[in-house]
Amino acid sequence: MNTDMQHKAEHPHGVMRRKEREIADRKEIDEIVHSARVMHLALSDNNMPFLVPVFYAYDGSSLYFHSAKAGTKINILKRNNQVCFEISVDHGVIESDSACDFEARHRTVIGFGKAMFIENEEEKTAALNRIVKRFTDKTFEFPKANLNATAIIRIDIDLIKGKKHGF
């Protein structure tokens, strides 16, 4: 992951406007990524956005998710592997006496990267084990037919940022 890109102004999500809400501590960003279970994945195809929630795993530098080998998400990723992802936790509302002063309580991570299809059976199994481990302590064997029918995608993270409010 290129941590130098964390604040580059030329990136569409360069410098954070509300600096007091920025999470600068990488440990806190990683804690948010590890604590959530669903990631929202944003894709783009011919200038048309597509957003989909996925279960995922994180190894500290890359994100992994699985999918059927066919469908809109896979078709888009084959044409354009540039992705944006969002992970958030601790949602709530900060109430006010004025309707215009209500705010969202949250801790959120947003990042950008490149999606890469994993074809190696050992890597696919390791990624699936990471994903399953987020939900159970049980261990599973993945039949070869299931592995062959499953796409495993690794997101190599180029930029990751965190923001929080209400903490």
Instruction: Tell me, rounded to whole angstroms, the distance of Cα 109 from its chain centroid.
Output: 8
pLDDT per residue, tens digit, the chain (167 aa), is 444 444 444 555 666 665 665 888 899 999 999 999 999 999 999 999 999 999 999 999 999 999 999 999 999 999 999 999 999 997 666 566 677 766 666 789 999 999 999 999 999 999 999 999 999 999 889 999 999 999 999 999 999 999 887 66
How far apart CA 28 and CA 71 sit, in angstroms, is 34
Q: Which amino acid is at 97?
A: D
What's the whole-model pTM score?
0.83
**What pLDDT is stored for residue 1 in this prediction?**
46
**What pLDDT is stored for residue 105 in this prediction?**
66
Q: Hey, what are 106's tokens? A: 């949250």
> Which domains, and CATH codes, for the chain?
3-165 (2.30.110.10)
pLDDT digits (tens, 9 = 90+) for 112-131: 999 999 999 999 999 999 99
How far apart CA 43 and CA 14 sit, in angstroms, is 19
**What pLDDT is stored for residue 157 in this prediction?**
96
